[in-house]
A and B are shown apart, each in its own frame.
Chain A
Amino acid sequence: MSGPDHHHHHDHDDEGSELSGMALRVRALESLLVEKGYADPAALDALIETYETRIGPRNGARVVAKAWADPDFRDWLRRDASAAIHSLGYTGRQGEHMVAVENTEAEHNMVVCTLCSCYPWPVLGLPPAWYKSPAYRSRAVLDPRGVLADFGVTLPETTRIRVWDSTAETRYLVIPRRPAGTEGWEESRLADLVSRDSMIGTALAREPAA
């Protein structure tokens, strides 16, 4: 991206424009680190593979679905989110210290990191570009309803909005409200209703298809 408002919809391999400058710069840096003995190319590939295929928002969706389906797990999540989430195997880097915040009819939670890009990686994967953008980081705290409108979400004026600015190493996961009409659903089916954005708090869980 050339600036905060510049937007790429496609994933290409750096042909043309100023992007090729960054592509060259990163390639040079990578080969230097390898030559110096600071990086192992196989480890670099393994890191990418991990975050492209293994660690992503489906993990968080399973946490939410379990919280919806299992009252004991939900209580555990409220009391000690780190232990509850770690018990499902979602541990480690950028998810060491977890807090779950639960949406209700009266209260909607939304998470931001105004100072950088803090985000709960083990449950949500890598943060999306918009989460790291100046547009989101600046406005989430000042005008959260305006940000929600950018995502097509309008809440009643009476709904309290609670913004969580991740300024430390605690990481916040939003538990969206369970949609009506899903009583008795299995966890795997519930998880399909849980979008990444609903766990950041910029969306609601999907309504079940009619």
Chain B
Amino acid sequence: MNGAQDLGGMQGFGPVRPEPEEVRFHAGWERRALAVTLAAGALGQWSIDAARHARETLPPGEYLTSSYYEIWIKGLEKLLLQKGLVTETELRDGKAYGPGRPLKPLAAAEVAPMLARGSPYSRPAGAPAHFAEGEAVRARNFQTSGHTRLPRYARGRQGVIERVHGVFVFPDTLALGGDEAPQWLYAVRFTAGELWGEGADPAVTVTLDAWESYLEPV
């Protein structure tokens, strides 16, 4: 969706403010926000893409004025409600008014193995790739109120296939609770001139990862 999360190319946010490597959190609650987000995700009730969609559907004004851990928490509350795991009243009061669904919570002993295992998103190829390295392609121009990982700045722009990554689950369907619908995934390189037009730096390129259905031949 064309929400506030699609930030590439916007202006007016001011300079980037570097921070030392040692700074991991800016408040105690951010540690807890990280932990509850990961633990709730481990219940297996939603995909990472559904979590992203829950965050990006925050109203733009709210998204842009929330820190990232705030965005996570607001997204998590939304998912818990959508899945019927908690009620509005329970969220408001921080208190359970009924039993939870019979789900197995992540155990402390499972934390290290779960993180080390991760969750591979690649899938076996069901068909050959349509595009090959070096081939010119155009990113399709479409608008969706659902979820997509094709940013606005690339839509309608022409680029070159730089890498064929393999076949990966498709976020646009997964985010809405649909199936994995795996597709070929490519790294596509665009010149800054193609993306930004007049005055663009001739020595800059931007490469993004695009699923096959985002692309059309040139």
Contact B209 A170 (CB under 8 A): yes
- Tell me the smallest distance from the CB of B81 to a CB of chain A, in Å: 12
- Tell me the smallest distance from the CB of A196 to a CB of chain B, in Å: 5
| A34 nearest in chain B by CB position | B105
| A27 interface neighbour in B24, B32, B120, B201, Cβ under 8 Å | B32
Rounded to whole angstroms, the CA-CA distance of A32 and B86 in the bound complex is 8
Interface string of B83-111 (1 = CB under 8 A from A): 00110001101111001101101111011
Contact A159 B203 (CB under 8 A): yes
Q: A7 contacts which chain B residues (CB < 8 A)?
A: 17
| A116 interface neighbour in B5, B150, B195, Cβ under 8 Å | B5
Contact B32 A161 (CB under 8 A): no
| A29 nearest in chain B by CB position | B36
- Tell me the smallest distance from the CB of A109 to a CB of chain B, in Å: 9
Q: Number of A residues whose C-beta is below 8 Å from B?
A: 96
Contact A28 B91 (CB under 8 A): yes
- Tell me the smallest distance from the CB of A114 to a CB of chain B, in Å: 4
The secondary structure that dominates the A interface is mixed
- Tell me the smallest distance from the CB of A157 to a CB of chain B, in Å: 7
Contact B10 A138 (CB under 8 A): yes
Rounded to whole angstroms, the CA-CA distance of A89 and B38 in the bound complex is 21
Contact B94 A43 (CB under 8 A): no
| A32 interface neighbour in B28, B90, B106, B151, Cβ under 8 Å | B90
Contact B86 A96 (CB under 8 A): no
Q: A140 contacts which chain B residues (CB < 8 A)?
A: 8
Contact A22 B116 (CB under 8 A): no
Q: A122 contacts which chain B residues (CB < 8 A)?
A: 118
Rounded to whole angstroms, the CA-CA distance of A85 and B80 in the bound complex is 35
> Is B128 an interface residue, CB under 8 A from the partner?
no
Q: A46 contacts which chain B residues (CB < 8 A)?
A: 108, 111-112
The verdict on A126 contacting B105 (CB below 8 Å), with A28-B93, A138-B9 known, is no
| A23 interface neighbour in B27, B117, B163, Cβ under 8 Å | B27
Contact A158 B203 (CB under 8 A): yes
Q: Please give the residue numbers on chain A whose beta carbons come within 8 Å of chain B beta carbons, in ascending order.
A: 1-5, 7-8, 10-14, 19, 22-23, 25-33, 35-40, 42-48, 50-52, 55-57, 91-97, 99, 112, 114-117, 122, 125-126, 128-130, 132-142, 144-145, 147, 150-151, 157-170, 195-197, 202
A-B contact pairs, 20 of them (CB 8 A): A4-B13, A26-B36, A29-B77, A38-B100, A38-B103, A39-B36, A40-B108, A46-B111, A91-B116, A115-B5, A115-B6, A126-B24, A129-B67, A130-B18, A138-B11, A139-B11, A141-B8, A142-B8, A164-B187, A165-B206
Q: Give 8 closest A-B pairs by Cβ, nearest first.
A: A28-B94, A36-B100, A114-B8, A168-B209, A92-B118, A1-B67, A42-B108, A44-B35
